[in-house]
Structure 1
């Protein structure tokens, strides 16, 4: 399993992060907490980052937006302070020169899942009893892995990477009880339209009892849900559409908004 060039391309977004860094069971996390007094204090949305980690401003702004919609969101540092540097965005020379295979060797499934297991144990010690997971690219792989073990009760994968289709889709169907939302796009080497069609054939038409939906954002490229060029109206609409679909999916399956204000749907 590997990543593609689009996994390390993108555009920096602008804004001021509002969340806080916290250490949970030894793992550093960027945490978005709803500002209102009313939100589900026993439930957490796990934000599973792409290769740029929760240190990436784009990710922090998304986490803050989930919090504004009344959903406490925790983004563990799955990459152990070793994200791909954002300056690869600056030129074709930089992203072509980046050694993706060596980076992936440091972030294999055993290492990453170990970090996830620690953060989940730590959050349970804090009284969290219910988890949803949303993943972007690299993190999308672990949305599936957590669902395989029925640790999570709701799943959202945005342009997931490193999945085997149809194997992982069939395993999800046969083992998981978590409703699944896939936010997909036109140009995606990691989860191409052939895999998207396989997902519809396996889960669609009411066959997956817990719930299934696939959103498709025409003209968008892998990474659009977190790294889109917001100066392009189509890409901006795709990024915002994936966020809106995700909040609605969470609300539909029991992760209700609290009293967040700015950014609330």
Structure 2
């Protein structure tokens, strides 16, 4: 069975945890998906990672760095998506940058859950969560990886932007990103990054609303960003759709599948 819950948490300022000025109501929503992951847990640069490896021939010098939402690689949905990237020819690594302390899956499936997102966020600021990402990247580079595609969901979208600012990754794809300050982070991306940018947005999202997508189009669209830009917009979908979408809803199912398809196409084109 798919578990569904929409839990509204009181507004919380996140500026003390992330160096961006935000005030937003956090909504835990989505479903857990069915399936059996086929990848492996490995230690890379001292960090626990879920690794999905293609079964056929693939470019050993390229890796998709999959940066999860707050549910981490422990949520089966994330591991299944990583497996799907591997089926499309990309070795995919999910660093557990949350130190084994993700938002628990039962926060989605148990209506009685009293999980506090603000308390969790207070323990997972960038000073704690960014170092594991850097360790994994450094270890992969030591093992011959020369090109990284970053795909980030929710919280992971924040880190895709940060890695792109520093031109550590060569390709960027974000789906319903959180903790971005618009337009400042979009403007910084345009001025500092060389990584082609894909944004998968949706109709109902406090964190990256349609107005943010419109601003991104103004800045990057019509050939204004030479590395490459694409913006996909999925009607009828809510924040989290690309990972935790309710597949019994036809629009959401189309959004989840469409965002995955666009990300795979983006990686095949630029990575």
- Please say whether Structure 1 and Structure 2 have the same fold, judged by a TM-score greater than 0.5: yes
Higher mean C-alpha displacement, 198-207 vs 98-107: 98-107
Which residue is equivalent to 2:212? 195
Which residue is equivalent to 2:189? 172
8 Å Cα contact 2:241-2:256 kept in structure 1: yes
Which residue is equivalent to 2:130? 113
Rounded to whole Å, the distance in 2 between the matches of 1:111 and 1:138 is 14
Match of 1:32 among 52, 55, 66: 52
1:1-265 equivalence runs, <5 A: 1=14, 4-6=25-27, 8-36=28-56, 38-94=57-113, 97-253=114-270, 255=271
SS of the aligned residue for 2:233 comes to: strand
Higher helix share: 1
Q: Deviations over 1:122-173 (max 9, x none)?
A: 1111111111100000100000000000000000000000000000000000
- Larger relative contact order (CA 8 Å, sep ≥ 6): 1
Tell me the TM-score normalised to structure 1 length: 0.92
Rounded to whole Å, the distance in 2 between the matches of 1:5 and 1:178 is 29
8 Å Cα contact 2:32-2:109 kept in structure 1: no
User: What is the Cα deviation at residue 5 of structure 1?
Assistant: 3.3
SS of the aligned residue for 1:117 comes to: helix
SS of the aligned residue for 1:9 comes to: strand
Tell me the TM-score normalised to structure 2 length: 0.90
Gap runs ≥5 in structure 1: 256-265
User: What is the Cα deviation at residue 113 of structure 1?
Assistant: 1.2
Rounded to whole Å, the distance in 1 between the matches of 2:184 and 2:26 is 24
User: What is the Cα deviation at residue 89 of structure 1?
Assistant: 1.4
Rounded to whole Å, the distance in 2 between the matches of 1:91 and 1:81 is 20
Q: Deviations over 1:87-112 (max 9, x none)?
A: 11134442xx3211211111101211
User: How much is the aligned-residue C-alpha RMSD, in angstroms?
Assistant: 1.1
8 Å Cα contact 2:47-2:96 kept in structure 1: yes
Gap runs ≥5 in structure 2: 1-13, 15-21
Q: Deviations over 1:202-252 (max 9, x none)?
A: 111100000000000001000000000001111101000000000001111
Higher strand share: 2
Rounded to whole Å, the distance in 2 between the matches of 1:108 and 1:252 is 33
Rounded to whole Å, the distance in 2 between the matches of 1:238 and 1:32 is 23
Q: Deviations over 1:17-40 (max 9, x none)?
A: 00000000100000000000x201
